[in-house]
Amino acid sequence: MGLTIIEKIVRNNIGKEVHPGEIVTVNVDRVMIHDIFIPFVASKFEEMGFTKIWDADKAVLIYDHLVPASQVDDTRHFRIGNAFVEKYGMKNIHRADGICHQLMTEAGYVKPGDIVFGTDSHTTTYGCVGAFSSGIGYTEMASILGTGTLWIRVPETIKVNITGKLPENVMAKDIILKLIGDLGADGATYKALEFTGDTVENMTVASRMSMSNMAIEAGAKCALFTPDEKTAEYCGIELTDKERDLVGDADAVYCKVINYRAEDFVPVMACPSNVDNVKPVSALVGKEIDQVFIGSCTNGRLEDLMAAAAFLKGKHVAPFVKLIITPASRKIYREAVANGTMAVLAEAGAIITHPSCGLCCGRTGGILTDGETVIATNNRNFLGRMGTSKVNIYLASPKSAAACAVAGKIVVP
Amino acid sequence: MGKIFKFGQDVDTDQIIASQYIIYPTIDEMKVHTFESLDTEFASQVQPGDYVVASENFGCGSSREQAPTVLKALGVKAVVAKSFARIFYRNAINIGLPVIVCKELYDNVNAGDEMALSMQEGVVRVNGKEYECTKLPAYMQGILDQGGLIASLDRE
């Protein structure tokens, strides 16, 4: 019987074939901890009686949610993080380089076939390079830091097959929003998603990243793409048979198979206040807006900023709209400056911020109030996410967001 | 017996404990804000031994372990829902908060009803009726029985 990608990754990790539903203990290749949870990880680690990290080089600490600090107390997290790094001999620390999920792949911490856990639900992102990655809590993170292992239940897999050419105004973000709308917020709970078909084969790694990033919004444990030449170039590796084999076998068992034709996709938005409340943009046209946010680990990459700039070139943001742009990393920021993208965005009236989680986690950079509406390219529109619980958050692609910023209302890009 | 506090479908971790509170240094400072956006009275009214009952996908959203931790700190005896999101589910077991899947309960009870739970029998009893619950896999029940992951690791 054939295997799905997740079954192969777990098999390669523990050295024996596994089946969905089995509970197995895996050896962890890399962990990511971010600033919000480091104080809790540190105190649990010591409460558990550990005195050393199983392999300090495999742990990465990233400051992103609280960068730059917006409250005096935020700096406590940096003090605790810095002390932890020093005490336990960690070398991999990023204090202002960008958002954790962008940095984990961009800085080369994650390779195809790896098993990675992070103290953030959007850790599913690294499936874009064919890694099994998932979010966990701080007690489990402390336990991994001490033991290098974690128990997991081998998940069933939902295969999503997409073929054909996407319409010009549709981005990977529209595909993942449509899928979440179709599956529902719990439609993939405890399950792996596996993306196949020539549409995803033709996508950039950055576009795949937008999709694996949001898999958790359907409850998924992970979201996997088969590593290819683009993955190898992105990760700076040569593909071997081991990576090439990370493809779902023709006779693998899937709990569900979903087929889409790329030509059928249209620009969509997730409407307040659930990510699975997905509607075509054409059904929302005319709704007035106060702010637009283009950024986050979902859509703050160079291709996203360039897509916005292509639309904004020679135009100006509507006078009453604040357009906030947050690149996902310092590297992306530099590249966007170097290729002229930032100049176009600034000319169009954008407010450009430092790379960080910023507005997406509702801490800095454009908090909204009762009755206001924001079109945002990030991953969650939960109640109270970007300010008060009476803010209306619509999730959209960078193309849709840029078009709305100019029009001052919802329009089809 | 404990009182039921009832919540709906897709209750996310931001609703259980909002992100502005999860950086407070202690759980005691956080717990008074539990469910604040849904029910401002919850934290002051819930008593040790009470239950949270919810519909599908309880605890979806972020990985914040503070979500089950504030519920446990307020004395919530168990969360009984039609289904749970996976990170919340793992976190709850790891900190020793029972999370019970029961498909029938939600539609047959009201907020304020008195309920009793028997984990051994895998049943809840409310208003003279019994509802069967899905039992945890043995591995997870083992962690829960020992009071959570830290106690469980100590044994190992």
pLDDT averaged over every residue in chain B: 94
The model's confidence at residue A98, banded by pLDDT at 50, 70 and 90, is: very high
CA angle A131, A191, B147 (to 5 degrees): 95
Q: Is the dihedral of CA A400, A401, A403, A408 positive or negative?
A: positive
pLDDT average, residue stretch A242-246: 97
pLDDT tens column, A220-229: 999 999 999 9
The count of CB pairs under 8 A between chains A and B is 110
pLDDT average, residue stretch B20-48: 95
pLDDT averaged over every residue in chain A: 97
Q: Which residues of B touch A (CB under 8 A)?
A: 10, 12, 14-15, 18-20, 22-23, 25, 37, 56-57, 60-66, 83-87, 90-91, 94-95, 137, 139, 148-150, 153-154
pLDDT tens column, A206-220: 999 999 999 999 999
List the alpha helices (DSSP H) in A121-171.
138-147
> CA of B58 to nearest chain A CA: how many angstroms apart?
9
Give the residue, A297 or A70, on which the prediction is more confident: A297
- Residue B10: its chain A contacts at CB < 8 A? 185-186, 274, 276
Closest CB to B10: pick one of A76, A139, A274.
A274
The model's confidence at residue A363, banded by pLDDT at 50, 70 and 90, is: confident
Query: What confidence score (pLDDT) does residue A281 get?
Result: 98
Query: What confidence score (pLDDT) does residue A292 get?
Result: 98
pLDDT tens column, A145-176: 999 999 999 999 999 999 999 999 999 999 99
Query: What confidence score (pLDDT) does residue B120 get?
Result: 86
pLDDT tens column, A297-330: 999 999 999 999 999 999 999 999 999 999 999 9
Interface probe with A: pick from B63, B65, B83, B87, most Cβ of A within 10 Å: B63
What does the alpha-carbon distance between residue A303 and residue A300 come to, in Å, rounded to a whole number? Answer: 8
Interface probe with B: pick from A35, A80, A186, most Cβ of B within 10 Å: A186
pLDDT average, residue stretch A349-370: 93
The model's confidence at residue A144, banded by pLDDT at 50, 70 and 90, is: very high
Count of Cβ atoms closer than 10 Å to residue A277 Cβ: 18
Which two three-digit tokens encode residue A366? 């454009």
DSSP 8-class letter at A34: E
Label the pairing between strands A351-352 and A322-326. parallel
pLDDT average, residue stretch A86-108: 98
DSSP string, A44-110: HHHHTT--S-TTGGGEEEE--TTSS-SSGGGHHHHHHHHHHHHHHT--EEESSSB-HHHHHHHTT--
Interface ipTM: 0.92
What does the alpha-carbon distance between residue B69 and residue A139 come to, in Å, rounded to a whole number? Answer: 11
Interface probe with A: pick from B17, B23, B143, most Cβ of A within 10 Å: B23
Q: Which of A174, A132, A120, A91 is nearest to A4 (CA)?
A: A132
The model's confidence at residue B151, banded by pLDDT at 50, 70 and 90, is: confident
Count of Cβ atoms closer than 10 Å to residue A164 Cβ: 15
Give percent of chain B above pLDDT 90. 81
Interface probe with B: pick from A31, A48, A138, A277, most Cβ of B within 10 Å: A138
The verdict on A137 touching B (C-beta cutoff 8 Å) is yes
Query: What confidence score (pLDDT) does residue B136 get?
Result: 85
- Residue A276: its chain B contacts at CB < 8 A? 10
> CA of A378 to nearest chain B CA: how many angstroms apart?
13
pLDDT tens column, B85-137: 999 999 999 999 999 999 999 999 999 999 999 988 899 999 999 999 988 88
Q: Which residues contact A323 (CB under 8 A, 6 or more apart)?
A: A291, A292, A294, A317, A345, A348, A349, A350, A351, A405
- Residue A382: its chain B contacts at CB < 8 A? 12, 14-15, 61
The model's confidence at residue A346, banded by pLDDT at 50, 70 and 90, is: very high
User: Residue A411: is its pLDDT beyond 90?
Assistant: yes
User: Residue B155: is its pLDDT beyond 80?
Assistant: no
Cβ contact B87–A136 (<8 Å): yes
What does the alpha-carbon distance between residue A179 and residue A235 come to, in Å, rounded to a whole number? Answer: 27
The verdict on A320 touching B (C-beta cutoff 8 Å) is no
User: Residue A132: is its pLDDT beyond 80?
Assistant: yes
Closest CB to A219: pick one of B57, B148, B149.
B57
CA A408 vs. chain centroid, Å, equals 27
The verdict on A153 touching B (C-beta cutoff 8 Å) is yes
- Residue A385: its chain B contacts at CB < 8 A? 14, 19
